[in-house]
Amino acid sequence: MRYRDRTDAGRRLASAIEASNLLEDGESPLVLGVPRGGVPVAAEVANRFDAELDVLVAHKLGVPGNPEFAIGAVAEDGSRILDRRIIDRLGISDAYIEEETARQLREVERRARFLRRGRDPISIDGRTCIVVDDGVATGSTLEASLRLVSNGGASRVIAAIPVGPPETIERLAGIVDAVVCPVRPRMFYAVGAWYEDFTQVSDETVTRLLAAASSR
């Protein structure tokens, strides 16, 4: 099964969440989209459940000289997770970790303010949070984001992803309360291969969707 686009993926994902009976009658979860590609998907999920919509902005913390190799992540509220096994194995200093955290936190805060157009973030404290992306491959960045939400006071965390390889989905299932993923191909290749239209999502689209949800 391939999705026509992210709107189609969001509608099918919402149906899968509904069929899973994870939400109680009348429960209004907080839907968190991972920018940018996850936000159009998340908007459809939020529409289905008449739920609030926000973005989940977090950045990975990279190793010296290789920013794509993550040793942890930081969210806009300053919460942080670290992979101490990798840090100890590579001998990364505490001074570097603090410097990298401060640098990435500044960028996360700037990015979040820009996408929300100055609106305050919606509190996750005590909420059922549905974290939505447009797909997942290795899942390392999404895993860090999910851990940050779990550690940030959410009562339940549900990861909702249109497509991802079985081994990644199984790993994510071990760190959240539930994972909803309708398409789990063993021959995965890449997220974009499971969409007919996987056009890059613009910042303008994200801000428009957030503004529409806020006004609703």
- No. of H helices and E strands in the chain? 7, 8
What top-level class would CATH report for the domain 6-57+122-215? alpha beta
- Share of residues in the chain with pLDDT > 90 (%): 79
Cα separations (Å) of 165 from 11, 135, 148, 191? 20, 9, 22, 9
pLDDT at 195: 98
pLDDT at 105: 94
* Alpha-carbon dihedral sign for residues 106, 112, 115, 120: negative
Is pLDDT of 148 > 90? no
Residue pair 167/187 in contact (Cβ under 8 Å)? The answer is no
Summarize pLDDT for 30-84 with one digit per residue, the tens. 999 999 999 999 999 999 999 999 999 988 899 999 988 889 888 888 888 888 9
15 token code pair: 């149906």
**Which residues have C-beta within 8 Å of that of residue 17, sequence separation ≥ 6?**
23, 45, 48, 49, 130, 158, 160, 180
Question: Fold for domain 59-116?
Answer: Ybab; Chain: A; (3.30.1310)
| Beta strands in 133-196, from DSSP E residues, in sequence order | 156-160, 178-180
Q: Domain residue spans in the chain?
A: 6-57+122-215, 59-116
How far apart CA 98 and CA 105 sit, in angstroms, is 10
Residue 20, phi then psi, degrees to nearest 5: -80, -15
Is pLDDT of 147 > 90? no
How far apart CA 173 and CA 212 sit, in angstroms, is 31
Q: Tell the residue number behind the tokens 């965390």, with chain if given.
A: 157
How far apart CA 94 and CA 178 sit, in angstroms, is 34
Q: Which amino acid is at 106?
A: R
